[in-house]
A and B are shown apart, each in its own frame.
Chain A
């Protein structure tokens, strides 16, 4: 520990190692010398929370895999055996199951924070795009993980979602056959989903690594959205943000533990406690809550191919967002119009989630369509337009000046 403080390391062993493999130097650099804006709010906690969730999911997942049998006749019973006969098996499974939900909550907040404060803009375009890649990988991983318990919703969810690919012209059915490993969702599907569900999290780890390299190249954005210019604007990551992240983690774990210990099946579907039955369709096939907005977009058009295109486009627009937003100002704090329009997107996404949970009938269809149209309008029309028409408020001179209450624009910036 002596060597982990600022300055040169005192231990000869550490110096010997560092000369050959600059590991301690690297940690030192990233934790102590890495300049972090001094004004990050609690909205900036969600990046590290996502990283911690990834670790929790991988650790619990590896242990679960030791007790799980990826065979369609045995999978359901192997999960039940884990729940009943393996020491703390129920804890591992509920942590993993609810961990998926917590992971998505954290990542969605992380994304909306980026949207509000313009964290996707120059020079952080690649950082943002890598984040979207992580989201896509998470969605694939979560979907395949949900199939593994081989309950009714696992089976029918897999059937519906894999069938989406059959909408692709010419090669669609071939792709579906390849995904299934046969002509219906069955044992080969379960086998390959298990294999990929184990693989993809490590791909996520690799992309998170790139995400962090990109992050540390230009540093964190901040609520003011202005670059840090001098030592007065930044503080070392440790101890200031390590302790702030730790406190945030504690609050987060209270919510997570509350769910795991007192309502572990709240976010799940009861149908998934019925073993998969290819001959019996459940009354409603509903994906997990974190997919509901995308599911609503998929169902908002009466054409399957067009629905699938919209579904993928809803993620696709995020990739090109850095070039859709024409505003020179990052933070919504200084964008009097976008500041309000941002919340319309939040409302649209929540509305889509609500619509996705219900059968596509009556009012759900209408609301789903309006929200879908708004979603794309927001990215493709409002982002370019508002950036051009809006008159941003004056930016503070520096982060330090704004935080310490010096400088004319700074007071205004803090008051909102």
Chain B
């Protein structure tokens, strides 16, 4: 027990109460991904609008084949620099299920800005059935749901390699130097430079596409970051002044005693 992992304690405790949670297969080694430069880093960090739109394009043309962004609605895209009409246009490209109508039937209609962006599968079971049993995770919080968030996702996207000699791969798995355990079920999503055609003249190298889509996903996970940074600056400035004034007041009040 002393050397047992805590998860075993949890599993044992769960078992003791008649609930069997599946035990983890093995302890995967953690790899620290290299740090990248992000426009949203730092106290004054903001999202690069052009990178966000390119990143959305990469998401839409590559990632969206398997991964949903459950917490995003079309209307949110206005924040990354699309006009109202552009948002309407993007939404209208999707078919969403609505209803029931007067006859009690569900029906399909073009998407509206207020709709959540539909995922590629109607439910998790359908996703597993289509993906060899693996469930492609929701991406709208992915950069907050992993250690080293954006660097990790970038590392995964650019970390596909040939397995080293002697490394035993399981069937239908891909070698990735960042993924814990190095075996990932996701096939390399970005395989060639120019896979996505950018309209703003940016050269779509794998590194560029990965960087853009991670910027987009970071915004998707934390759309209020810019507002937070702006307000934070004002609050800190106010507090610094308040602290100086209060310290002077304290000195003055206490000077009567000394």
Chain A residues in contact with chain B, CB under 8 A?
38, 77, 80, 83-84, 90-91, 94, 156, 159-160, 163, 166, 173, 176, 183-184, 235, 239-240, 243-244, 246-247, 250-251, 253-254, 257-258, 260-262, 264-265, 270-271, 273-274, 278-286, 299, 302, 359-361, 365
If the complex has contacts A247-B243, A250-B246, are A240 and B253 also in contact, measured as CB distance less than 8 A? yes
Whether the Cβ atoms of B246 and A243 lie closer than 8 Å is yes
Which single residue of chain A is at the shortest CB-CB distance from B43?
Answer: A262
Whether the Cβ atoms of B149 and A270 lie closer than 8 Å is yes
If the complex has contacts A247-B243, A270-B144, A285-B7, are A279 and B22 also in contact, measured as CB distance less than 8 A? yes
Residue numbers in A under 8 Å from B224 (CB-CB): 83-84, 90
Chain B residues in contact with chain A, CB under 8 A?
1-7, 9-11, 13-14, 16-19, 21-24, 27-28, 43, 70-71, 76, 137, 141, 144-147, 149, 180, 221, 223-224, 227-229, 231-233, 235-236, 239-240, 242-243, 246-247, 249-250, 253-254, 257
Whether the Cβ atoms of A254 and B14 lie closer than 8 Å is no
Whether the Cβ atoms of B2 and A254 lie closer than 8 Å is no
Which single residue of chain B is at the shortest CB-CB distance from A272?
Answer: B145
Residue numbers in B under 8 Å from A299 (CB-CB): 6
- A163-B17, A273-B141, A360-B2 are known; give 6 further A-B pairs, CB within 8 A: A90-B228, A273-B221, A281-B21, A302-B2, A361-B3, A365-B3
Whether the Cβ atoms of B16 and A166 lie closer than 8 Å is yes
Whether the Cβ atoms of B17 and A244 lie closer than 8 Å is no
Which single residue of chain A is at the shortest CB-CB distance from B22?
Answer: A279
5 nearest CB pairs, A to B: A261-B232, A163-B13, A273-B145, A250-B243, A247-B246
Whether the Cβ atoms of A274 and B3 lie closer than 8 Å is no
Residue numbers in A under 8 Å from B19 (CB-CB): 183-184, 278
Residue numbers in A under 8 Å from B240 (CB-CB): 254
Which single residue of chain A is at the shortest CB-CB distance from B75?
Answer: A85
Name the one of A235, A246, A282 contacting B257, with C-beta atoms under 8 angstroms: A235
Task: Kindly state the separation between the CA atoms of A273 and B147 in the bound complex, as whole angstroms.
Answer: 11
Which single residue of chain A is at the shortest CB-CB distance from B4?
Answer: A360
Residue numbers in B under 8 Å from A83 (CB-CB): 224
Which single residue of chain B is at the shortest CB-CB distance from A176?
Answer: B17
Which single residue of chain A is at the shortest CB-CB distance from B256?
Answer: A240
Closest chain B CB from A87 CB (angstroms): 10
Which single residue of chain B is at the shortest CB-CB distance from A163?
Answer: B13
Closest chain A CB from B1 CB (angstroms): 4
Whether the Cβ atoms of B10 and A156 lie closer than 8 Å is yes
Residue numbers in B under 8 Å from A274 (CB-CB): 137, 141, 145
Closest chain A CB from B112 CB (angstroms): 16
If the complex has contacts A184-B17, A265-B144, are A281 and B235 also in contact, measured as CB distance less than 8 A? no
Residue numbers in B under 8 Å from A173 (CB-CB): 16-17
Whether the Cβ atoms of B7 and A284 lie closer than 8 Å is yes
Name the one of B14, B227, B239, B246 contacting A257, with C-beta atoms under 8 angstroms: B239
Residue numbers in A under 8 Å from B253 (CB-CB): 239-240, 243
Whether the Cβ atoms of B14 and A159 lie closer than 8 Å is yes
